[in-house]
Amino acid sequence: MIPATGKPALAAKARLRFDRISGGYMLLYPERGLALNATAASILKLCDGDRTVETIVGELHREYVDRSDDDVRHEVVDFLEGLLKRGLLRVLG
Amino acid sequence: MTEAPRPYTLVAELTYACPLHCVYCSNPVDFARHHDALEGDDWRRVLREAEQLGVVQVNFTGGEPLLRRDLEVLVEQARALDLYTNLITSGIPLERERLVRLRQLGLDNVQVSIQDARPAESDRIAGREAFQGKLRVARWVKELGFSLTVNVVLHRQNLDRIEESIALAEELHADRLELANAQYLGWAFVNRPALLPTAAQLERARSVAARARARLEGRMEVVFVIPDYYVEFPPACMDGWGRRFIVVTPDGLLLPCLLAHTLPGLSFGNVRQASVEELWTSSPGLSAFRDEAWMPEPCRSCDRRAIDFGGCRCQAFHLTGNAAATDPACSLSPDHALIELARDEAARPPSELSALRYRTARASAAR
């Protein structure tokens, strides 16, 4: 479980890239790539190793005003934990 | 029908020259016929045109890509295009300063091949002394902040010590470990009697790898690839012919896979004469197996035809002489007995140790 005070950042092997053809973002890592939906891309753009999970949830909540705080928190944490399992994320502090 | 083909990955084979002589090399056995005809400017144009077409990731490989003096310029061009950039290397010959420079230029991931966790065995398979140099390079890769992939090709002579390869990759703090069984094409086909494992070896190794994958989750990605000779249905070779991958050879041929230019009767265009886009869309060789029109039965009416695309064309040719046959690796193939025969041979204790044939320029020129 990622603590709310943890500061997520992409792992050394992962890189975010805008994809001109699909108009969305891709998360690239050796031999692979994930096409991200808009929410996932918004989350990852905030994973800079400075912002905490709580800060990210707060900023995202402002972007998705029609959704509850808990709903956004669940989505962020689930997504980040999935990336952590794949070794695409590290959590600082 | 499947969606329109879009290449995501460019495999840039910068040279077929290599200081190593691995007995399962995936280069064509007649590689000596192909020369490094592409200039740095050609390669830079290939990178730009490939990116325009949709490529997001480039693998600089060979042969040994470090032998290209202008590798740095190509890495710089790839990063200017925001491509995810991999160097697929033996680690020989590499100085730390050069790696520092490649890091500054934005290279993302370095894949170092290790032939075996035991030094003498690794060097025997590589046909020269290389093991210690590889470990040194792998350590530099991590020190400099790169992502590190360790690649170990598996076969009957090293499968039983797969634990040692996993331990070595852990010790090196690899981000990704590829435990990839040799596929029996090219040089590995030549050496198949000495390399093809038994079913029991493979089963044991697979369960060891599965346990390691679970244990190392989140720290090290563990990939285990079984040889096509032991599957029920073939995998989608290269995600399908001319669908996701572009391969460019040292002499400029644009191919759908590493060995397509060894298939008779196919013509592939050259990036020196045409753009990447022209070749991707209209080279006759790429069109040959792209849709389903070429498929014989049992593929033609098979539910899996959009999953595995009929399997590997090169394997079909190696085993049956016909590149348009169903991949014999498929249990439904009328030629599947060829695979069963090879498995039966692998299961028998070898009467004598089959001599290894090394991948050398001289051996290649003789073919």
Q: What is the DSSP letter of B187?
A: H
Chain A residues touching B109 at Cβ < 8 A:
13, 29-30
> Is A33 in Cβ contact with B57 (below 8 Å)?
yes
Strand-pairing partners, residue B13, are B61
**Closest chain A residue to B107 measured between Cα atoms?**
A13
Chain B residues touching A11 at Cβ < 8 A:
147, 175
Mind giving me the DSSP string for B255-287? ESSTTGGGSTT----BTTTS-HHHHHHH-HHHH
pLDDT tens, B263-306?
Answer: 999 999 999 999 999 999 999 999 999 989 999 999 999 999 99
Whether residue B157 lies within 8 A of chain A, CB to CB, comes out as no
Is pLDDT above 80 for B339?
A: yes
Nearest chain A CA: its distance from B169 CA (Å): 15
Q: Pairing relation of β-strands A24-29 and A15-19?
A: antiparallel
Chain B residues touching A85 at Cβ < 8 A:
217-218
Nearest chain A CA: its distance from B327 CA (Å): 24
Which of B6, B109, B147 is facing A21, going by the closest CB pair? Answer: B6
- Predicted ipTM of the assembly: 0.94
pLDDT band at B1 (very low <50, low <70, confident <90, very high): very low
Query: Any residues with CB less than 8 A from the CB of B333 and at least 6 apart, and which?
Result: B298, B325, B326, B327
Chain B residues touching A84 at Cβ < 8 A:
218
Q: What is the DSSP letter of B116?
A: -
Which of A17, A30, A31 is facing B82, going by the closest CB pair? Answer: A17
Put simply, whether the predicted model's pTM sits higher than 0.95 gets the answer yes
Terminal-to-terminal C-alpha distance of chain A:
14
CA–CA distance, A81 with A90 (Å, rounded to integer):
10
Instruction: Please state, rounded to an integer, the average pLDDT across all residues of chain B.
Output: 96
Chain A positions touching chain B (beta carbons under 8 Å):
11-13, 15, 17-19, 21, 26, 28-31, 33, 84-87
Q: What is the DSSP letter of B107?
A: -
Terminal-to-terminal C-alpha distance of chain B:
40
pLDDT tens, B18-50?
Answer: 999 999 999 999 999 999 889 999 999 999 999
pLDDT tens, B113-150?
Answer: 999 999 999 999 999 999 999 999 999 999 999 999 99
Q: Which amino acid appears at position A13 of this protein?
A: K
CA–CA distance, B177 with B222 (Å, rounded to integer):
5
Tell me what pLDDT residue B2 has. Answer: 52
Chain A residues touching B6 at Cβ < 8 A:
21
> Is A26 in Cβ contact with B56 (below 8 Å)?
yes
pLDDT tens, B312-328?
Answer: 999 999 999 999 999 99
Q: Which residue has the higher pLDDT, B2 or B208?
A: B208
Whether residue B297 lies within 8 A of chain A, CB to CB, comes out as no
pLDDT band at A22 (very low <50, low <70, confident <90, very high): very high
**Closest chain B residue to A81 measured between Cα atoms?**
B218
> Is A86 in Cβ contact with B175 (below 8 Å)?
no
Please return the burial class of B206, using the count of CB atoms within 10 Å of its CB with bins 0-12, 13-18 and 19+.
middle
| Chain A interface disruption, residue of B10, B103, B107, B109, most A CBs within 10 A | B109
Tell me what pLDDT residue A93 has. Answer: 81
**Closest chain A residue to B9 measured between Cα atoms?**
A31
Could you give the residue ranges of the DSSP H alpha helices within chain B? 40-53, 71-80, 96-104, 119-126, 131-143, 162-171, 186-190, 192-195, 199-215, 276-282, 284-288, 305-308, 313-320, 336-347, 361-365
